Structure 1
Amino acid sequence: MSQTSPATHVIAYRAAERLLDSGDPRGALTLLDPLVSAYPENTSARLLRARAFFLGAQLRSAEQEFMLVLEREPDNAYAHFALARTLQRAARGEEALRHFRLAAALDPKPDYLARARFGEQP
């Protein structure tokens, strides 16, 4: 990116969202990496970057990004849910269930509740 103004970063973020929605996680990461470097505390950019890692099957990187978000926002239900999906995909079911349950406890959305399997043993 030749310009690094806040407006340029917003445009890059929106473009990365569109790339991710169209199935191009690598393209999204190309736009998000400089944005996260410039604003490492930006939770929205980190969440989008974590989603891009997840959709690109870079599970370890996705896990690290989701964990960074949760360090800053431990009550972020979406981050718990997405981390759980990442752990589940990495065949770490017990850890995933813990985060599915945290997500459902924080925000009882039907899809969060379904994955939480309350009433069942881990």
Structure 2
Amino acid sequence: MDATTGYLGHGTAAERWERARLFFDAKEYAPAAQILHALAQEAPEQLAPRLLLARAYYHSAQLSRAEHELRAILERWPVEDYARLMLGRTLERSGRADEARPHLRMAAAMAGEFPER
């Protein structure tokens, strides 16, 4: 698929969601992010497009955008453990391990993964 063909933003929300998932699955994260960004703006109350958008940003090394989206997700859904884990990983990848640590610990605890004593 080629992002320059001009069909990224066309179709119903369901069609664009499917197209974004196809791009994501093909590891074409930039066009996936382009579609997902529009979907997330249209329906900010839907978690799935926003999480996939954050993942697309992360995988395309757009770490500040991933961080911004993940913080917005966690503001709205504070118990979303996967977003918490992704934020920790994003901060780690950004060289901010100390800032990442509490997010990673919280994500593990939320997922029921407790360190052994």
Q: Same fold (TM over 0.5)?
A: yes
Structure 2 Cα separation of the partners of residues 41 and 62 of structure 1? 18
Which of 3, 12, 21 in structure 2 is aligned with 1:17? 21
Gaps of 5+ in 2: 1-8
> Between Structure 1 and Structure 2, how many residues are aligned?
109
Structure 1 Cα separation of the partners of residues 81 and 41 of structure 2? 25
Which of 34, 54, 60 in structure 2 is aligned with 1:56? 60
Structure 1 Cα separation of the partners of residues 78 and 34 of structure 2? 27
Which of 97, 100, 103 in structure 2 is aligned with 1:99? 103
SS in 1 for 2:78: coil
Q: Aligned residues: percent identity? A: 36
Contact 2:24 2:32 in 1 (8 A): yes
SS in 2 for 1:108: coil
Q: Per-residue deviation at 1:43?
A: 1.6
4+ runs of 1 displaced by more than 2 Å?
none
Superposed, 1:71-90 pairs within 5 Å as: 71-90=75-94
Gaps of 5+ in 1: none
Contact 2:10 2:16 in 1 (8 A): no
Structure 2 Cα separation of the partners of residues 33 and 94 of structure 1? 29
In structure 2, what is the equivalent of residue 27 of structure 1?
31
Structure 2 Cα separation of the partners of residues 59 and 2 of structure 1? 27
Residue by residue over 1:34-86, the C-alpha shift from the partner in whole angstroms, topping out at 9 and shown as x without a partner, is: 21221122221111111111011010000000011101111111001011110
Could you tell me the TM-score, scaled by structure 2's length?
A: 0.83
Which of 41, 44, 60 in structure 1 is aligned with 2:48? 44
